[in-house]
Amino acid sequence: MAGPGSPCRIALLGGAGGIGRALVASLRSKGDEVIVLDLAETLERHPPDTPAIAVDIHSETSIAEAVGDLSRRWPTLDGFVNLAGYNNRIGPLADTPTDYFDDILAVNLRGLFLSTRAVLPLIADGGSAVLIASGLGQYIRPNYGPYAASKAGVIALAKTFALENAPAVRVNAVAPGAVDTAFLRGGTGRSDETAAPDIPVDAYVANLPLRRLAQPDDIVGPIAFLLGPDSRYMTGQVLWVNGGAYMP
C-alpha cells in the first residue's frame, strides 16, 4: 500500500459508467493513478481521461487477458473497485425469461467473481478491494428478483473474499440505492442514456428520508473511504448508501 500522502494505483472495473466516471475524476484530483477496465463499446462511448483496458466479463479468457495487460503496466495495485453490473428489465419473477435471469447472474455475480478473483493477487499488502452491491441485495422489493439475487451473492462474495484474503487485503462492499445514471435507463452502453429512468422517480424519492435521488458523487465518497487508510480496520463490511431508504 502506498504510504500516507503518496499516490495510489487503483484499477476500476466498470469505470466508464456513471459512478465510475465520477470516481475516476475524484481519485485523479487527489493525485492517484487510475486504470479503467470496461467493455470496448463502453470505452468508445465514454473514453476515460486515463489509461483503459477493454474487457468482457462474460469471458474468463477476456478477463485473463485484461488482467495480464494490467499486471504488465502495474505489477501491484493499491486498490481495486468492481463496479460491473446491469439490470434492464423490471417485472415479476414469474414473467422473467430464463435467458435474462442467466445473463444477469453471468455478469453481476459470475463476472464479478471471476474478475475479482483474477485481480486480487495483484493487490499489495495493506491494499483494498471494494465491490459494488445494491440495497436490493437485502432490502427485497418486488420486480427486481434476478438483480436482487445477483447482488445478494455479491455481498456474500465480498465477505468470503474478505475472510480469505485477510490480513493482507481488505475487501468491503458499497450497496447503493437508486443513483441517477444510465443504470436507471438499462445500463451504460446498453440503453438510451438520455431517456427517462425506468423507475417512478417521484414516488421513489417521496419515500426517502433525504428526499432526493442519489447522484454519482454521493457514492464516490463511501468508495473512496473504503479504499483509503481511514477504513484500515474494516473488512467484510457493507456500507448502505441509500438516503435512508434501508436501515439494517
Element (H, E) at 148: helix 145-165
Helix H segments across 30-128? 40-45, 60-73, 98-105, 112-119
pLDDT reported for residue 6: 78
User: CATH code at 35?
Assistant: 3.40.50.720
CB 173, CB 9: distance < 8 Å = no
Is residue 67 one of the residues assigned to a domain? Answer: yes
User: Looking at the domain assignment, is residue 1 inside a domain?
Assistant: no
Other CB atoms within 10 A of residue 208 CB: 16
Q: What are phi and psi of 211, to 5 degrees?
A: 60, 35
Distance CA 216, CA 29 (A): 16
Q: Which residues of the chain have pLDDT under 50?
A: none
- Which three cell numbers mark 82? 468492481
The pLDDT of residue 186 is 53
**Number of domains the chain is built from:** 1
Helix axes 18-29, 216-227, angle to 10 degrees: 50
The reported pLDDT for the residue numbered 188 is 60
- 62: containing domain: 9-241
Phi, psi dihedrals of residue 87, rounded to the nearest 5°: -160, 120
Residues 173-192 have pLDDT tens digits of: 999 999 998 767 655 655 56
Catalytic (active-site) positions: 147, 151
The number of angstroms, rounded, from the C-alpha of 27 to the middle of its chain's C-alpha atoms is 15
Give residues with Cβ within 8 angstroms of 182, minimum separation 6: 17, 18, 188, 189, 190, 191, 193
Strands (E), the chain: 9-13, 33-38, 52-54, 77-82, 123-132, 170-176, 238-241
Please tell me the predicted confidence (pLDDT) of residue 190: 53
Using omega within 30 degrees of 0 as the cis cutoff, is the peptide bond preceding 200 cis? Answer: no
The single residue listed with the C-alpha cell 484500515 is 232
Question: In this predicted structure, what is the pLDDT of residue 203?
Answer: 86
Indicate the pTM of the whole model: 0.92
Does 179 map to a domain?
Answer: yes
Q: Residue 101 in 3-state DSSP?
A: helix
pLDDT at 201: 84
Instruction: Judge whether 104 lies within some domain.
Output: yes
Cβ pair 219, 19 in contact under 8 A? yes
